[in-house]
Homo-oligomer: A and B are copies of this chain.
């Protein structure tokens, strides 16, 4: 156990004698991961008689739905991240532990850290997902995905640098390669990235260069299915496709990428014809895979994994034979009666976090809860300024109303965290001025 039992000299008297709380041995809940799932579970346990530890290897919660805005220079990392300690600062029963979880001792009931261990009575694993290259891990450095703030600033740097290189390139063919951007994957993230790149090329950078015309960029969106946003109804996919084409994004549907190198990408169409396309910037939005901690959980508990590495959970999100272990969010493989697995989106993680928190609260009072049910309030995807699609079951919305809804819903969620007002102001400002002021190429190599 990494925590000293002696009260350290530097203890904040305002927090009360934490070692005493420890000695009266409350019910210990450990949450692995400070994403939407973990954080909503923690907040929902605010008034529960538990001693809560939230473990994350990063010191901030990331509002991932807006990460593409950082990758395209619209927002700064600090504007979509909230320090975990700040979020839980006033929650007396919670502490944050900045550490890396490497394994689980399920019989001893402790989480194994890289440098220590934390005991638990109830464990909530919300470790999320990471990019997956379908066995082509060598593509990772060539086609960065969009999962971390470092990914986002890396993509931002690559995109901006491509325009800079094009500006200085006298050879027309090479210049075109620098001005060709390929986004692999036509789901929500790929569509957002492609739309934002379209706006950058056609609008943001319009007057910025003297030797190139950024609007002559080629932006390709490659999707394996025969439509973008395959998880949406077909009519909304068509509308999103039209919105993308307005932004001069070229769609390559029923197509897949078979090779990537530093100068080109090879795209195979549905009739298996291959084309090698000179392109200097390739972005990955095609596949995710559950955190490798899912594998560890499977090894330690015998829980099955699905093809995407998600841990298959019981109807109450626990593991069979381990009612004290709960898996939520992108790491959890959960299917409503025979349906498809729930998608890896924030609302699922948030509802699961709240559900498990409620389950633990009930359990402590000797009660129980029914199985988890996901309440789908609707699906939204944005393409760019004034462009989006929204699916509310029978009602389908596209264009400005959908975009307005998208902004509203995202601001609502941000309300839960710190930066609400500011990000709203920034948004209005960027909307009115068409500003993308955070267009920085940063990073050590470029210093």
Residues of A near any B CB (own CB < 8 A): 2-4, 6, 8-15, 18, 57-60, 73, 75-79, 81-83, 85-86, 89-90, 95-99, 116, 148-150, 160, 164, 166-168, 170, 172, 175, 179, 205-216, 418-419, 421-422, 425-426, 429, 435, 437-444, 446-447
Contact = CB atoms under 8 A, between A and B. Distances in A.
Given A18-B211, A211-B3, A447-B148, A437 B82 contact: yes
A57 B99 CA distance: 37
Given A59-B160, A207-B14, A442 B77 contact: yes
A439 B166 CA distance: 35
Nearest to A163: B85
Contacts of A149: 440, 442
Contact of A429 (B76, B421, B429): B421
How many copies the complex holds: the figure is 2
Contacts of A439: 59-60, 83, 85-86
A140 to B, nearest CB: 13
A178 to B, nearest CB: 10
A184 to B, nearest CB: 22
A84 to B, nearest CB: 9
Contacts of A164: 59, 98
Contacts of A435: 418
A17 to B, nearest CB: 11
Nearest to A85: B208
Contacts of A212: 8, 10-12
A437 B150 contact: no
B77 A8 contact: no
A211 B8 contact: yes
Give 10 closest A-B pairs by Cβ, nearest first. A78-B438, A76-B78, A76-B76, A4-B170, A85-B208, A10-B212, A12-B213, A95-B210, A83-B439, A89-B207
Nearest to A53: B210
A421 B18 CA distance: 44
Contacts of A418: 435, 437
A71 to B, nearest CB: 12
Contacts of A83: 208, 437, 439-440
Given A82-B437, A86-B437, A148-B447, A8 B59 contact: no
B170 A8 contact: yes
Given A73-B78, A98-B164, 14 more contacts: A3-B211, A9-B216, A10-B213, A11-B213, A12-B207, A12-B215, A18-B211, A59-B441, A76-B77, A77-B440, A81-B438, A85-B208, A149-B442, A150-B444
Nearest to A9: B172
B58 A12 contact: no
A10 B389 CA distance: 33
Contacts of A206: 12, 14
B207 A15 contact: yes
B440 A60 contact: yes
A365 to B, nearest CB: 26
Nearest to A157: B59
Nearest to A21: B210
A81 B211 contact: no
A8 B172 contact: yes
A414 B77 CA distance: 21
Contacts of A76: 76-79, 438
14 contacts: A4-B170, A8-B170, A8-B212, A10-B212, A12-B212, A12-B214, A59-B439, A59-B441, A77-B438, A89-B207, A98-B164, A150-B442, A422-B425, A422-B429
Nearest to A429: B422
B10 A175 contact: yes
Contacts of A97: 168
A441 to B, nearest CB: 5
